[in-house]
Structure 1
Amino acid sequence: MVKKESLTALVSAFSRAYHAEHNLIKVFDDSLARQLLTDEEYESIASNMSQGIAFFQPGFEGTQEQALRRVVDHQLSPSPLGRAAFAEQALEVAALHGASQYLIFAAGYDTFAYRQPEWASKLQIFELDHPATAEDKRRRVSALNCNKPSNLHYVSVDFSEPDWTSRMLDCHAFDPSVISFSSLLGITYYLPKDVFKEFLSAVTKLLPSGSSIVFDYPDEHTFTAHAGERTQKQVMMAARAGEPMQASYSYEELEHMLEDVNLLIYQHLTPAEITGQLFQAYNDSQPAHPITAFDNVNYCLAVKR
């Protein structure tokens, strides 16, 4: 039985796997995500999602497979695909400009270390996650019979512990003096604002000036009547799953918070910009199955001063 901590990550892996398997031109190509899921898990998630079409898109008419595709393209995959594409594009730029460490916070079933391109070979990659999810990830990877990359390091850490950064500093491969790139994808939604700010501050203090942090975040309309339909349903789903979304931010509020922890916004994308920059090639190739960036979710790349 998969532990509760990994359920959200499992659905994210499913959406990446489905997209990779069903499209030639991809928003983001996670060629290994399917291998991390058992056939039973994949089929169970597919069945549950297709059966939920009435919730996601009332009035839909079509086959079960058509329903699944609509749910995946419309509700499940836009965020995992878009933010992963954004993060790895930014990581490549950072690596070419001297970043030598990649810290993946709440790594879940991220597969970058196992499909890393040549430009990443000089990076030291650190996957940080809750011990339960980290152990499940390692079990799944070991079943693939693929060798652990020599530049990959696992750091099991409970981020709710006040001294969690000590686990990172205890990792012999980690060097707090070298420029690093950190991924905090999918984290902001579930932390109160003061907790996220404290978390950002702790991450920033681990790294030297010039280091980058990438994350996605819900905008200030997320919990209002002005939120998009998909967002309203996502908020409902999170609450029902016992993982309620807890915070949203305006650009100005985010900018001030980042300044307080010594970070400056380097790149920022709104949903319209995400669709235009990251999804256009895919949408041109699949006009019958368009994907648009998730409502009310922005991407941010910040750099430590």
Structure 2
Amino acid sequence: MEEDQFSLTAVMCAYLRASHAKYDDPKIFDDFLAYQLIPDENRLLIEQGLIKYLKLKAPELAASLPDQTTALAWITRAMNSRSNLLSRSRYTEEALEAAVNHGTQQYVILGAGLDTFAFRRPDLLAKLHVFEVDHPNTQNFKTQRITELGWEFPAQLSFISMDFTQESLAVALKKSSYNPRVKSFFSWLGVTMYLTREEVFTTLRTIAAIAPAGSWVIFDYFDIDVFNPQKVDPQMQEQIAHAQEAGEPMKTGFDPAMLASDLVNLGFYLHEDLDQVDIQKRYLCGSKYVHLVQAIIK
């Protein structure tokens, strides 16, 4: 991410969640507030880019669609069907609800982006204190937008600014009202692939050190094959190239066969590691290169 630039990936993810909530039925994950969080100028730029991409890649299809609304619904549906964006959000909130029923009282969202949980789930918010941790540029973009919309900031919501590549999560949380003695739930979605292997392990090691035993972390990761040109398909190569062009290069994947032992060394035991087949059985959509993981602090 360039200096003074908020995460374009975070805005795009919010747009795809918003489009799913607006156009699709059945809904895998109903983020009915995401659309409002995206300023008009950003939304228009995204939509212009999507229409241009559709015309370039599938000109006959683009010409057959009756209007721009139909075209946008088609392309965002196609993009969501090939990604874990919706399934990872639903998976996380299902797991969080179960954790709350077992005594979890703190929810830490790492790389929160334009997450709307604290405004969308008052039922769970009443039982939790939520900490949104993200890069200051993206967090400032989000809080300014919330203020523009006139939304009330919940008392149970705290914002913590930090750059994962430069700062310590432990230090950032110690400066907040986070309680290291209270069972916690950490979600870390759409982030690990943008960090180095050591940065990922440092953050997981920190979580294991600052939260009590029985606390949870959910994260997603790329299979290491993503970075092997002989094993990755052209669509994924294109996605990696687009991230590079946006100034948010993808860097890291992991070997699923080694993950359980890696997590043990970091202070966790692996509860669940879902691959594409598992994810599609539950939520109908998923990427063949992305895994969803639940791990518990030992």
TM-score (ref. length: structure 1): 0.89
Query: How many angstroms does 1:191 deviate by?
Result: 1.1
Query: How many angstroms does 1:6 deviate by?
Result: 2.1
What pairs up with 1:196-215 in 2 under 5 angstroms?
196-215=200-219
Tell me the equivalent position of 1:23.
Answer: 24
- Give the one of 238, 242, 246 matched to 2:243: 238
One-letter identity of the residue aligned with 2:48: S
What pairs up with 1:137-152 in 2 under 5 angstroms?
137-152=142-157
Contact 2:169 2:203 in 1 (8 A): no
Q: Which whole-Å CA distance do the structure 2 matches of 1:303 and 1:164 have between them?
A: 18
Q: Which whole-Å CA distance do the structure 2 matches of 1:294 and 1:65 have between them?
A: 25
Q: Which whole-Å CA distance do the structure 2 matches of 1:82 and 1:3 have between them?
A: 31
- Give the one of 77, 85, 88 matched to 1:73: 77
Contact 2:80 2:86 in 1 (8 A): no
Secondary structure of the 1:216 match is strand
Change (3 A) 1:95 1:27: same
Q: Which whole-Å CA distance do the structure 2 matches of 1:103 and 1:34 have between them?
A: 23
Query: How many angstroms does 1:108 deviate by?
Result: 0.8
Contact 1:56 1:233 in 2 (8 A): no
Q: Which whole-Å CA distance do the structure 1 matches of 2:59 and 2:261 have between them?
A: 40
- Give the one of 278, 291, 296 matched to 1:298: 291
Query: How many angstroms does 1:148 deviate by?
Result: 1.1
Q: Which whole-Å CA distance do the structure 1 matches of 2:57 and 2:30 have between them?
A: 25
Secondary structure of the 1:158 match is coil
Query: How many angstroms does 1:69 deviate by?
Result: 3.0
Secondary structure of the 1:103 match is strand
Q: Which runs of 5+ in 1 are unaligned?
A: 280-291
Tell me the equivalent position of 2:277.
Answer: 272
Tell me the equivalent position of 2:39.
Answer: 38
Contact 2:107 2:185 in 1 (8 A): yes
Change (3 A) 1:182 1:153: same
Contact 2:125 2:156 in 1 (8 A): no
Secondary structure of the 2:10 match is helix
What pairs up with 1:121-270 in 2 under 5 angstroms?
121-171=126-176, 173-224=177-228, 225-270=230-275
Q: Which whole-Å CA distance do the structure 1 matches of 2:58 and 2:266 have between them?
A: 41
Query: How many angstroms does 1:271 deviate by?
Result: 1.1
How many residue pairs end up in the alignment?
291
Within the alignment, does 1:114 sit opposite 2:115 as a pair?
A: no
Query: How many angstroms does 1:164 deviate by?
Result: 4.1
Q: Which whole-Å CA distance do the structure 1 matches of 2:70 and 2:4 have between them?
A: 30
Paired-residue identity, %: 32
Q: Which whole-Å CA distance do the structure 1 matches of 2:9 and 2:80 have between them?
A: 11
The C-alpha deviation readout for 1:179-213, integer Å capped at 9, x for no partner, is 10001101111111122111211122110100000
Cα root mean square deviation, aligned: 2.0
Q: Which runs of 5+ in 2 are unaligned?
A: none
Q: Which whole-Å CA distance do the structure 2 matches of 1:157 and 1:221 have between them?
A: 30
Q: Which whole-Å CA distance do the structure 1 matches of 2:185 and 2:138 have between them?
A: 22
One-letter identity of the residue aligned with 1:178: V
One-letter identity of the residue aligned with 1:300: V
